[in-house]
Chain A
Amino acid sequence: MTKRTFILAAILLGAAALVVVGVIQGQPGQVLSKAINICLECVGLG
């Protein structure tokens, strides 16, 4: 395994682990609840 392959595999595994922890903590729900309402800050009203 080249150094680059190793670094890339480590980053991808680390990222997947972060996503899993986030899903366990219910974070996709928080993303969804912000995204389905009009974001007043984004529009310049908040």
Chain B
Amino acid sequence: MRTSGDSSEEASISATKAVCVPGLNCYSCPGAVGACPIGSLQNSLSGMTFRFPYYVLGLMIFFGALLGRTICGFLCPFGLLQDLLNRIPFPKKIRTFKGDRKLRNLKYLVLIVLVIMVPIFVKLTPAFCKYVCPSGTLSGILLALGDSRLFAVLGGTFFWKLSLLILVILISIMIYRPFCKYICPLGAFYGPFNKVALMKMSCDKSACVDCGACSAVCGMGVDPSEDPNSTECIRCGSCIKTCPAKALGYEFSLRKKEAGDPLDTSA
């Protein structure tokens, strides 16, 4: 039986959805406690009259400036799902392929075209949510399983999105985080913040022995000894743990680092 306590709890959980969470987290998901930044951005831009999305953009810039793509490494549910899928054994895992680097630019195109341009110019069309977002599809499956009326009205768009989701799931077993590398507009948004964010990484060149262990272990295809703040780095920390010379580390400090400074590799 529902009590007034239940409904006030529900109301306070609902109220938290006025704030965007940092990661890709579909607000259609029954378990979501916050709003999705990419969904909210498209929704703000696709209104019948254009209003600049001060609030959502401000929050996204704030998250990016503090954490950069650490959000991808630790706070995004869809990133975690891909991480887990990649742990499934598969005879031939693909680390890179011809055109890998160029394909990474696709996510910037997705951000500009599907998340910004289409919602502005084609009203009421949050194109990324509607045609691509696999996180939304997952939520849709959960909702449809619990509501037969919803199940009955699932149509062509849903099945298109379902095919994309299945593709992402299958490819995630072979390639580390394919959605993050090539498609995610939120990863594209946060990537450039890696260069300036409060949470950074650094490589102590005087300690580095150029063994290549860090780039060999990096699933995102980064060489952190050369570019510790690459737009592709999700701050997972695998390279820090692997480095035999303890040359790599997280860096939260704002002060300029002196040559030979010991790095904090305790993480």
Binding site for B on A (CB under 8 A): 2, 4-5, 7-8, 11-12, 14-23, 25, 27-32, 34-36, 38-39, 41-46
Contact = CB atoms under 8 A, between A and B. Distances in A.
Nearest to B65: A11
Given A5-B254, A19-B54, A21-B54, 4 more contacts: A15-B59, A18-B54, A27-B51, A42-B28
A30 B15 CA distance: 12
A18 B61 contact: yes
- The binding surface of chain B is classed by DSSP as helix
Given A2-B254, A4-B254, A41-B126, A25 B58 contact: no
Interface stretch (B39-47, B82-90, B92-100, B241-249): B39-47
11 contacts: A12-B65, A22-B58, A28-B55, A30-B43, A31-B20, A38-B28, A38-B143, A39-B26, A39-B136, A44-B154, A44-B158
B35 interface: yes
Contacts of A35: 17-18, 27, 32, 34-36, 39-40
A44 B136 contact: yes
B54 A34 contact: no
A44 B139 CA distance: 10
B17 A32 contact: yes
